[in-house]
A and B are shown apart, each in its own frame.
Chain A
Amino acid sequence: MLYSEKVMDHFKNPRNVGEIKDADGIGEVGNAKCGDIMRMYIKVKNGIITDVKFMTFGCGSAIATSSMATELIKGKPIEQALEITNQAVVEALDGLPAYKLHCSVLAEEAIKAAIKDYYEKHHIPFDEKKYCAGDCACLHEHEAAHKPAKAKAEAKPAKAKAEAKSTKAKTKTATKTTTSSKKSTTNKNSKKSAKK
């Protein structure tokens, strides 16, 4: 079987599909060129994510990881949501084929992008280093072009949704802004998950 039962369940019956018109934060990550884009909407009250919805352009893994990611953060405090790793998403889905792991990375980044957008909209200070620019490129661009020094210089807190408008320009920026500290985490996580 290509996918586990849990993955197929989340693919066939995705949870929390849709949009939130008056969302408190919207995060969009990925790249249509790569074939994977995730957009996550969150509603936050008293530091708790009260509602979350997603829209995804992507394969079975992309849809399943988006769905699972929304389940993992719904009803949780923001700090807890920030701790969700791609590995947690993969484990919750009983594993993904090795070449699909990048979808789970996108899910983790979508959560962070939505929360970052929430912080920006509500003028809440946050540590920029912990967040990508909100338009993370797909994994092969991550690995190819990413440099931390450039990330600091070029990362501009822009609304994730607005970034999606000119994907081409953003792709170039994104490859430079995504932090390589994430790279080691990603590789670690992929290695761990690949063992499955």
Chain B
Amino acid sequence: MIYLDNAGTTRMDDSVLKAMLPYLGEQYGNASSLYTFGQKAREVVEEARKTVAKCLNAQEGEIIFTSGGSESDNQAIMSAARYGTLKGKKHIISSAFEHHAVLHTLKKLEKDGFEVTYLPVYENGIVRVEDLKKAIKKDTCLVTIMFANNEIGTIQPVAEIGKICREKGVIFHTDAVQAVGHVQIDVEKMHIDMLSLSAHKFHGPKGVGALYYRRGVPVYPLIEGGAQERNRRAGTENVAGIVGLATALELAIKEMPEANKRMTKLRDKLISELSKIPHSALNGDRKNRLANNFSMCFEGIEGESLLLSLDEHGICASSGSACTSGSLDPSHVLLAIGRPHEVAHGSLRLTLSKFNTEKEVDEVIKVVPKIVEYYRKMSPVWDELEKGERKHVI
């Protein structure tokens, strides 16, 4: 199997699994229990918290553990919104291509009378700080812009955004789920007020994430109940998951320079070779993108059939076509960067990890052009494009 959907989820590192096992076995104590056996669990949770804080240049008291990126996004946004309501500020600024965990939360708030401005992301998939400056108003209570996009991997000007928000006194949250463990993040330097992260995107376990929130930023619990996570997130701590998250994060940061160097080389090879396919186009900025992200549209074909054929060859990938999203519209990210529907349907996303090899990439380079050609031969859309009955877009 050639696994190229690491933006979807990643394989756990062996050392991470090893670190988790005791807490799935003999060390089953509840971290909130008084007796020694429970206190052992408490220790490792707090150790993990310290580690995560260090990795982000944050303080221990600024990290709470959640069930993942979606929960962290929800909690961050709902908290800022609630605080905004208390202060009479009901305007939020976000971007057009956020993850659905952010977008759907914002849609919910719009129903509750919030006004949301979605900044355009232009063809290169990057928000412009001038647009942000223009959009901030007196009643803006939150700016939430993702660190790096999951579909096309483009990296946003987070430090600049943070600086502007700090100057204007607006809370800045970033969904950094795709960026943590892949790019250097310093919440202090970048003036980030809240940040979401998820372990299974950097070789940690699924079902656990964290929310960073700067001291002083109000965070209200999404989940009511016990006093865990300093009364901000009820529920018995997922000790094994938390240990796995911290172990994975520390390892990812340590290996980052080397891993990124390797992945960049492989990603660039994929881009340069697969660009040779006629009427293909890279999605998003060529330079400001994650080292692991390849996203391309092929005119005249549809993504799900492409993925099924790749699956036949043992290659795991993803697409932004409607069929793969289960809805009738293709990826909102591709539409946001200006791809027409029919082109967005023909997209392919390959996302690497430190585990991928050049041999695997060579195999993909061999197989993809053949598959694209096969589907183009049977495509009435391609037929019209070639006959000039329909105009080529890319």
Given A138-B328, A164-B389: A32 and B341 interface contact (C-beta under 8 Å):
yes
> Is B8 an interface position by the 8 A CB rule?
no
> Is B224 an interface position by the 8 A CB rule?
no
Contact B305 A11 (CB under 8 A): yes
A21 contact set on B, CB distance < 8 A:
none
User: Smallest distance from the beta carbon of A61 to chain B beta carbons, Å?
Assistant: 8
Of residues 24 through 38 on chain A, the ones whose CB sits less than 8 Å from some CB of chain B are 28, 32-38
User: Smallest distance from the beta carbon of B224 to chain A beta carbons, Å?
Assistant: 35
Given A57-B380, A57-B382, A60-B308: A33 and B341 interface contact (C-beta under 8 Å):
yes
B304 contact set on A, CB distance < 8 A:
59-60
Q: Which candidate, B31-39, B49-57, B225-233, B319-327, is the interface stretch facing chain A?
A: B319-327
B341 contact set on A, CB distance < 8 A:
32-35
User: Smallest distance from the beta carbon of B206 to chain A beta carbons, Å?
Assistant: 21
Report the bound CA distance from A32 to B299 in whole Å: 11
A36 contact set on B, CB distance < 8 A:
302
Given A35-B323, A56-B378: A11 and B308 interface contact (C-beta under 8 Å):
yes
Contact B384 A56 (CB under 8 A): no
Contact A28 B380 (CB under 8 A): yes
> Is B383 an interface position by the 8 A CB rule?
yes
Given A32-B342, A99-B326: A59 and B381 interface contact (C-beta under 8 Å):
no
Of residues 285 through 342 on chain B, the ones whose CB sits less than 8 Å from some CB of chain A are 300-305, 308, 312, 321-324, 326, 328, 330, 340-342
Report the bound CA distance from A59 to B330 in whole Å: 12
Of residues 6 through 65 on chain A, the ones whose CB sits less than 8 Å from some CB of chain B are 11-12, 14, 17-19, 28, 32-39, 54-63
> Is A123 an interface position by the 8 A CB rule?
no
B interface: dominant SS: helix
> Is A165 an interface position by the 8 A CB rule?
yes
User: Smallest distance from the beta carbon of A98 to chain B beta carbons, Å?
Assistant: 10
Contact A59 B312 (CB under 8 A): no
Which residue in B312, B345, B377 is a CB contact (below 8 Å) of A32?
B345
Which residue in B300, B324, B326, B330 is a CB contact (below 8 Å) of A57?
B300
B324 contact set on A, CB distance < 8 A:
59
Closest to A138 in B: B328
Of residues 127 through 145 on chain A, the ones whose CB sits less than 8 Å from some CB of chain B are 138-140
User: Smallest distance from the beta carbon of A27 to chain B beta carbons, Å?
Assistant: 11
Which residue in A11, A18, A35, A54 is a CB contact (below 8 Å) of B302?
A35
User: Smallest distance from the beta carbon of B382 to chain A beta carbons, Å?
Assistant: 7
Contact A58 B389 (CB under 8 A): no
> Is B379 an interface position by the 8 A CB rule?
yes
Most B CB contacts (10 A, CB to CB) among A55, A62, A165 go to: A55
> Is B390 an interface position by the 8 A CB rule?
yes
Report the bound CA distance from A37 to B375 in whole Å: 13
Which residue in B345, B378, B390 is a CB contact (below 8 Å) of A165?
B390
Contact B323 A59 (CB under 8 A): yes
Report the bound CA distance from A56 to B305 in whole Å: 11
Report the bound CA distance from A4 to B380 in whole Å: 26
Closest to B328 in A: A140
**Sample (15) of A-B pairs whose CB atoms are under 8 Å apart:** A11-B305, A14-B378, A35-B328, A39-B383, A55-B378, A55-B380, A57-B300, A57-B382, A58-B305, A59-B305, A61-B323, A62-B302, A164-B389, A165-B384, A167-B390
Q: Beyond the given A32-B381, A35-B342, please list 17 additional residue pairs across the A-B interface where CB-CB is below 8 A.
A: A11-B308, A12-B312, A17-B377, A34-B328, A34-B341, A35-B328, A55-B383, A56-B380, A57-B300, A57-B302, A57-B382, A59-B303, A59-B321, A60-B323, A62-B305, A140-B328, A164-B384
Which 4 interchain pairs have the tightest Cβ spacing? Answer: A32-B342, A59-B323, A59-B304, A39-B380
